[in-house]
Amino acid sequence: MLLHIPEVLTAEELSHARMLLANAQWQDGRATAGHQALDVKHNLQLPPQGEPARELAALVQRALARNALFMSAALPKLTMTPMFNCYQGGMTYGNHVDNAIRSDPLTGQYVRTDVSCTLFFSNPDEYQGGELVAEDTYGLHSVKLPAGDMILYPSTSLHRVEPVTAGARLASFMWTQSMIRDDARRAMLFDMDMAIIALRQQLGDSEEVMNLTALYHNLLRMWAEV
């Protein structure tokens, strides 16, 4: 499931984050690359232990915790501390699949990467290129979202970031270990949750809506790993 989540950040949060990123000291992104990514990863990252990255990570974590669409789609058990990158001057990240297990840069806790997210801080007209291209059974999907919006997709997807030929692409990236390991089951539960919300708005807490809600929770109970 590939999902566009709009307006994850408020205007005030976005403005503050962009100010922090504009004044940040960056390092070579290969410092946090896995073995398979070393040859294809060419970008800049914020040192995760630095104060700007910690402040930005806390801001993003608060935004995710209040976002109902993210919570429904990811069904998070653990979310790694968000990290931050910059692409400019032809920088790119070639085709790769995210490592199945990653260690949180601050806590050291291991996380199984079920769900990947990219949160954009630059608007599409501020840079050229830089599309996130993800591949699934339905083909290639090219993503370039407004600042403050986020794309969510399975970490099993082959994906890349196209070269940024002008301007700068600033973003946050993070991984979530879901309570539901299987993407197809997560997608089914998400679709059911969205349908229940829509029906509740039309019908209130009717008997049929309550039955569907019970089915959702029973499936979650059956499949969840907590």
- Tell whether residue 217 is among the known ligand binding residues: no
C-alpha dihedral, 61 to 65 to 67 to 70, nearest 10°: 80
Q: Where are the alpha helices (DSSP H) in the chain?
A: 11-22, 51-65, 68-74, 183-203, 207-223
CA–CA gap between residue 106 and residue 75 (Å, rounded): 22
Whether 169 has a binding-site annotation, put simply, is: yes
Residue 16 assigned as binding residue: no
Structure tokens at 127: 């840079």
In terms of Cα–Cα distance, which of 161, 169, 56, 42 is closest to 106? 56
Neighbours of 195 (CB within 10 A): 13
Q: Which residues pair with 32 in a beta bridge?
A: none
141 is in an annotated binding site: no
Sheet holding 139-143, edge to edge: 41-42, 92-96, 158-161, 132-136, 139-143
Give the residue numbers of the binding site for 2-oxoglutarate: 169
Give the residue numbers of the binding site: 96, 98, 159, 169
